[in-house]
Structure formats: structure tokens, C-alpha cells
Amino acid sequence: MGASAGRQPAFGGRTPAARATFLTFLLRSYNCRDIPSREQLLARREQLLASLPPLGDVVRGSFFVRRLRCGKSDRCRCGRGLLHRAAYLSVTFKGGATEQISVPRRLESVARAWVRNYARWWQAIEQVSAVNRELLRRRLVEPDR
């Protein structure tokens, strides 16, 4: 008996002919020139790691600027529509708690860069992970000794 009830068998069909057709389709869809070598994969991984900013220059969160009215709007310029500017770094933690840190103008470029660096690190982690999955899939790594 083939596959168990309710389960679709692997390789596209129940009969040997269906499996052969599916495997032929898979093999024809790959162009050998498109498959990177082990050296190319390792070079890509090193290139990704070398392009990263220092890990110490990273912060998780969102940087944003708000325009606000103060409590003295009858005596202040914000009462005439010239709102005050306030910059913040906002971070949401597990459980939903949010922290907002006021960022002075002189540190805004630092905060923006650190938030950008955080995103770059996570993008690189995803790309390195993809390279490492391919190395494992193709058995192109050696076990640690």
C-alpha cells in the first residue's frame, strides 16, 4: 500500500511515472550555472559580515519627531500654530510595554543611525542564515571538532 490515508505522497504523485515526471521537471528547472559553489557561498557570507556596522552602534526601536503644543499655549508661539518639535526613540517590549526616550537635537543623527544599523544587522542575519541553510542543504560544511 502507498501513502497513508489523507496524506499526499512526496514527489508529486502516487505512481512511479508521476514521481519521475515531477523529478524531471525539478531537474530541468535548475540551471547548473545558477547554483553557487561552496566558495561563492562562503565569500557571500564573509562579504555580508564585513559590510556590517559595529554591533555597539545598534539600538532597537523607532525614531520619530512630533510637533506639540505646550501647556502655555495662550502665551506661547504654539498657540499661534508654531508647534514645538520633540524627537523620540520608542521601543516596545514583550508584553506590550512601550518606552519613549526624548532625544535632544544634537543626538538625533546618532539615534537615526543606530536604528538604521539595527535594521541592517537583522537583514544581514536573514541573509547569512539563507547562505548557511544552503550550505547545510548541500552538505558543504564540516562538523565542529
Tens of pLDDT along the chain (145 residues) come to 444 555 555 544 567 766 666 666 655 555 556 778 889 888 999 999 999 999 999 999 999 999 998 888 788 988 888 999 999 999 999 999 999 999 999 999 999 999 999 999 999 999 999 999 988 988 888 888 6
The predicted structure's pLDDT at residue 122: 94
The predicted structure's pLDDT at residue 38: 87
The predicted structure's pLDDT at residue 11: 47
Length of the chain equals 145
Query: Could you give the count of Cα atoms lying within 13 Å of 57 in the half-sphere of its Cβ?
Result: 10
The predicted structure's pLDDT at residue 15: 72
- How far apart, in whole angstroms, are the C-alpha atoms of residue 145 and residue 141? 12
What phi and psi, each to the nearest 5 degrees, are found at residue 63? -100, 135
- How far apart, in whole angstroms, are the C-alpha atoms of residue 127 and residue 29? 23
User: Is 130 exposed, middle or buried, given 0-12, 13-18 or 19+ CB atoms closer than 10 A?
Assistant: middle
Residue type, 135: L
Note whether 17 and 100 are within 8 A (CB).
no
Residue type, 143: P
